[in-house]
C-alpha cells in the first residue's frame, strides 16, 4: 500500500533523512519508532505530499505521490502532531466544515459524522464548543476529521502525546478496530509500549536512517539472549561505571555493554545464558566492584534500539533535548 524509496531531505546543514526506504502492506498497522529528531515527522509529511524530498520516490496504492499529489491525497487521512481545532465551533460544526472541504454529499456527510461519533464515543459532547474540550476529546475529534472521507491509508503523527492513560487506551482500541476493518495505518511514536502493543510491523529510525525493521516479535527474537541491568553501587560514579563497562566487555557471552546514564550510570548488557551471570559477579568482585543490584528480563524493543545504536531510546531523547537546550545539556552531564 505504501512504498518509500531512498528518501533524502536536508534542512540547511541538518540531514533529516539519509535514504529512508519502507514498504507497508495493505491492512497493516505499521509503527515508526524513534526519538525526537529522528526524522519521523519528515517522513510522514513527505508521504502526505506536504513536503517535497530532495531525492527519492513515494508510492501510495500504486500512485506516484510526487507526480500526482492530488490523486494520492484522496487515499490519505492525516492527523498531525499538533491538534488544530477552532475553539468557537462545536465539534459537529467542525466536522461538517471538514466534510465540505472533502466535497462529501450531504447524505454521506451526515452518515459519516454519525458513524464516527459512535466509533469514537463523541455523542455526549459533539455539540459543545471545542474550546471546552479536554485533550482526549480534541484528539478524538482530530482523528474523526482525518477519517471523514474513509481513507485507505491513515497517517498519525504522535497521536497520544499528552493524553492520559484512559484516553490513550481508548485511542488504541479505535486504531485496532480500524486496522481490523482493512485500513492501513502508519503510526509514528516514541512510546515503546505503544508500538509494541499496536504495530504489526515497525521501523526504528535514528539520525534519518532506518536502523531496524520487522515485527516486534521478530526484532526481539533476533536479538537473542537476556537483558541485564546491573548496578555496582546504588549511586555509581561515571568512573566506576566506565571501569565496570571495560571489564564486562571482555567477558565471553556478553554483548552490547552500555552505560545507561538516565538510570544513574547503571550498566545495560545482553548475556547468553544464566551461567554467564555468575562469572560476571565473580569478575566484578575481584575488581572491587561488588554487584549492588541486578535485574534480568527478556529482550524488549528498547534492547533492539540499544543493540542498533549503542544507546537507549531515553538517552537518545535526552541527547535531543540537550542539543536544543544548553541548560539541559549541563543537567545531563551532572547526572
State the Cα–Cα distance between residues 325 and 194, nearest whole angstrom. 27
H or E element: which one contains 215? Answer: none
pLDDT score of 334 = 43
State the Cα–Cα distance between residues 302 and 154, nearest whole angstrom. 26
pLDDT score of 136 = 87
Q: Are residues 229 and 108 both part of a single domain?
A: no
Furthest C-alpha separation in the chain = 78
The grid cell for 142 is 482530530
Phi, psi of 295 (to 5 degrees): -120, 135
Q: Are residues 202 and 237 both part of a single domain?
A: no
Q: Are residues 134 and 233 both part of a single domain?
A: no
33 and 213 Cβ atoms separated by less than 8 Å: no
pLDDT score of 325 = 58
Nearest Cα neighbor of 301 from 172, 230, 204 is 204
**pLDDT cut 90: percent of the chain above it:** 49
Number of separate domains in the chain? 2
Q: Are residues 205 and 104 both part of a single domain?
A: yes
Q: Are residues 10 and 93 both part of a single domain?
A: yes
Structural domain including 108 reads 2-214
pLDDT score of 14 = 92
Distances (CA, A) of 168 to 34, 181, 327: 19, 20, 31
Q: Looking at the chain, how many residues does it have? A: 335
H or E element: which one contains 204? Answer: strand 201-206
Q: Which residues contact 187 (CB under 8 A, 6 or more apart)?
A: 29, 30, 31, 32, 156, 159, 175, 194, 195, 198, 199
Q: Are residues 259 and 186 both part of a single domain?
A: no
State the Cα–Cα distance between residues 228 and 271, nearest whole angstrom. 7
State the Cα–Cα distance between residues 322 and 205, nearest whole angstrom. 19
Domain boundary among 164, 184, 214: 214
Q: Are residues 43 and 192 both part of a single domain?
A: yes
CATH no. for residue 280?
A: 3.30.70.100
3-state secondary structure of 298: coil
Q: How many CB atoms are closer than 10 A to CB 15? A: 16
CATH no. for residue 165?
A: 3.40.50.300
220 and 286 Cβ atoms separated by less than 8 Å: no
Phi, psi of 186 (to 5 degrees): -115, 115
3-state secondary structure of 234: coil
Q: Are residues 39 and 170 both part of a single domain?
A: yes
Q: Are residues 209 and 247 both part of a single domain?
A: no
Which residue stretches of the chain have pLDDT < 50? 326, 328-335
Distance of CA 315 to the CA centre of its chain: 15
State the Cα–Cα distance between residues 158 and 37, nearest whole angstrom. 13
State the Cα–Cα distance between residues 201 and 216, nearest whole angstrom. 6
Q: Are residues 36 and 83 both part of a single domain?
A: yes
214 and 201 Cβ atoms separated by less than 8 Å: yes
State the Cα–Cα distance between residues 241 and 252, nearest whole angstrom. 19
230 and 259 Cβ atoms separated by less than 8 Å: no
Q: Are residues 173 and 134 both part of a single domain?
A: yes
The grid cell for 4 is 518509500
Domain boundary among 214, 230, 248: 214
Domain boundary among 214, 248, 276: 214
Q: Are residues 178 and 316 both part of a single domain?
A: no
Amino acid at each position: 500500500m505504501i512504498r518509500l524509496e531512498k528518501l533524502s531531505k536536508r534542512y540547511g546543514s541538518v540531514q533529516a533523512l539519509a535514504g529512508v526506504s519502507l514498504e507497508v502492506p495493505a491492512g497493516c498497522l505499521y509503527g515508526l519508532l524513534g526519538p525526537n529528531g529522528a526524522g519521523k515527522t519528515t517522513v510522514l509529511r513527505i508521504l502526505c505530499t506536504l513536503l517535497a524530498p530532495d531525492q527519492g520516490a513515494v508510492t501510495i496504492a500504486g500512485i506516484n505521490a510526487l507526480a500526482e499529489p492530488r490523486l494520492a491525497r484522496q487515499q490519505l487521512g492525516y492527523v498531525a502532531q499538533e491538534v488544530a481545532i477552532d475553539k468557537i465551533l462545536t465539534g459537529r460544526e467542525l466536522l461538517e466544515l471538514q466534510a465540505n472541504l472533502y466535497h462529501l454529499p450531504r447524505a454521506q456527510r451526515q452518515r459519516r459524522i454519525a458513524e464516527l461519533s459512535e466509533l469514537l464515543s463523541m455523542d455526549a459532547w459533539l455539540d459543545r464548543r471545542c474550546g471546552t474540550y479536554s485533550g482526549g476529546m480534541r484528539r478524538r475529534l482530530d482523528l474523526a476529521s482525518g477519517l471523514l472521507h474513509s481513507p485507505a491509508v491513515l497517517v498519525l503523527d504522535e497521536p497520544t502525546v499528552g493524553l492520559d492513560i484512559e484516553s490513550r487506551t481508548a485511542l488504541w482500541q479505535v486504531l485496532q478496530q480500524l486496522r481490523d476493518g482493512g485500513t492501513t495505518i502508519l503510526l509514528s511514536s516514541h512510546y515503546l509500549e505503544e508500538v509494541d502493543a499496536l504495530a504489526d510491523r515497525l521501523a526504528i529510525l535514528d539520525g534519518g536512517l532506518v536502523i531496524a525493521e520487522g515485527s516486534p516479535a521478530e526484532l526481539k527474537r533476533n536479538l537473542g539472549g537476556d537483558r541485564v541491568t546491573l548496578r555496582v553501587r546504588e549511586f555509581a560514579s561515571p568512573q566506576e561505571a566506565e571501569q565496570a563497562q571495560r571489564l564486562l566487555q571482555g567477558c565471553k557471552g556478553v554483548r552490547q555493554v552500555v552505560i545507561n546514564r538516565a538510570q544513574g550510570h547503571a550498566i545495560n548488557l545482553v548475556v547468553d545464558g544464566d551461567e554467564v551471570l555468575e562469572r560476571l559477579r565473580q569478575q566484578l568482585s575481584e575488581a572491587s566492584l561488588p554487584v549492588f543490584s541486578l535485574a534480568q528480563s527478556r529482550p524488549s524493543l528498547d534492547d533492539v534500539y540499544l543493540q542498533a545504536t549503542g544507546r537507549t531510546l531515553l538517552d537518545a531523547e535526552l541527547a535531543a533535548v540537550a542539543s536544543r537546550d544548553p541548560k539541559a545539556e549541563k543537567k545531563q552531564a551532572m547526572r
